[in-house]
A and B are shown apart, each in its own frame.
Chain A
Amino acid sequence: MNLLEHSPALIVAIPLLTGFLTPLVSKINKKLRNFIILISLLLTLILVWNFAFSYIFPREEPFVYVFGANSPGITLPSGYKIPVRIIFEIDSIGAFMSLITSIIAFLSFIYSLEFMKKYRGLEKYYTLFLLLTAGIFGMEFTGDLFNFFVFLEITSIAACALIGFHVNKSSCVNAGFKTMVMYTVAALFFLLAVGLLYGQYDALNIGILATKINGSLLDKLALGLFITALALKIGSVPMHFWVPEAYGESPSPVSMILVTNTQASLYALFRICFTLYGIVMNTALIGWIIIILGILSMFFGATLALIQRSIKRLIAYIAISQIGYMLLGVGVGLTTLENPQLLQNYGITAMRGGIFHIFNDAICIGVLFLISGAIIYRTKIYDMNNLGGLARNMKYTAIFFIISSMAISGLPPFNGFVSKLLIYESVYKLNPLLSIIAILISIVTLANFVIVFHGVFLGPKLKKFDNINDAPKEIILPIILMIILIVISGMFPDLFLRNLVEPAVKSLINKEIYISAIGI
Chain B
Amino acid sequence: MIFTTTIQTGAGYWNPIIWLFSFGLISILIYIIFTLIAEKSYKKDTEQTLPFLSGNIEEREEKLHVKASNLYWGFKTSLEDYYKFISKLRLGSDAIINDYFTWFIFTLAVIFLIIFGGMLL
Contact = CB atoms under 8 A, between A and B. Distances in A.
Contacts, number: 153
Contacts of A491: 16-17, 20
B62 to A, nearest CB: 6
Interface in A373-423: 384-385, 387-389, 412-413, 417-418, 421-422
Interface string A225-267: 1011001100001110110100000000000000000000000
A389 B65 contact: yes
A186 B108 CA distance: 11
Contacts of A223: 115
B60 to A, nearest CB: 9
B10 A425 contact: yes
A413 B10 contact: no
Interface string A302-323: 0110111100010000000000
B116 A492 contact: no
A494 B7 contact: yes
A285 interface: yes
A322 to B, nearest CB: 18
14 contacts: A181-B97, A228-B107, A238-B103, A241-B95, A241-B103, A242-B100, A303-B82, A304-B86, A349-B10, A384-B68, A385-B69, A418-B14, A459-B64, A495-B3
Interface in B89-121: 91-93, 95, 97, 99-101, 103-104, 106-108, 111-112, 114-116, 118-119
A282 B118 contact: yes
A484 interface: no
A311 to B, nearest CB: 8
Interface of B: 2-12, 14, 16-17, 19-20, 23, 61-62, 64-69, 71-72, 75-76, 79, 82-83, 86, 91-93, 95, 97, 99-101, 103-104, 106-108, 111-112, 114-116, 118-119
A178 B100 contact: yes
A304 B92 contact: yes
A413 B17 CA distance: 8
Contacts of B5: 494
A64 to B, nearest CB: 31
Contacts of A169: none
A220 B114 CA distance: 10
A185 B104 contact: yes
A84 to B, nearest CB: 31
Interface of A: 178, 181-182, 185, 189, 220-221, 223-225, 227-228, 231-232, 237-239, 241-242, 244, 282, 285-286, 288-289, 300, 303-304, 306-309, 313, 346, 349-350, 384-385, 387-389, 412-413, 417-418, 421-422, 425-426, 428-429, 447, 450-452, 454-456, 458-460, 462-463, 490-495, 497
Nearest to A494: B5
A1 B14 CA distance: 46
A285 B116 CA distance: 10
B99 A458 contact: no
A182 B10 contact: no
A418 B7 contact: yes
Given A304-B92, A459-B65, A450 B71 contact: yes
Contact of A303 (B12, B16, B79): B79
A447 B104 CA distance: 30
Nearest to B20: A413
Contact of B4 (A307, A447, A494): A494
Contacts of B83: 307
A181 B69 CA distance: 31
Contacts of B9: 349, 421-422, 425-426
Contact of B108 (A224, A306, A426, A495): A224
A170 to B, nearest CB: 15
Given A384-B69, A495-B3, 6 more contacts: A228-B104, A309-B68, A412-B19, A413-B19, A460-B64, A494-B3
A497 B7 contact: yes
Contacts of B92: 304
B10 A492 contact: no
Contacts of A241: 95, 99-100, 103
Contacts of B101: 185
B68 A224 contact: no
Output the residue of B83, B93, B95 with the most chain A CB within 10 A: B93
Contacts of B93: 244, 304, 308, 313
A309 B69 contact: yes
B65 A224 contact: no
Contact of A224 (B12, B14, B86, B115): B115
Output the residue of B99, B104, B118 with the most chain A CB within 10 A: B104
Nearest to A186: B104
Nearest to A386: B67
Output the residue of A456, A492, A497 with the most chain B CB within 10 A: A492
Contact of B12 (A225, A232, A425): A425
A412 B11 contact: no
Contacts of A239: 100, 103-104, 107
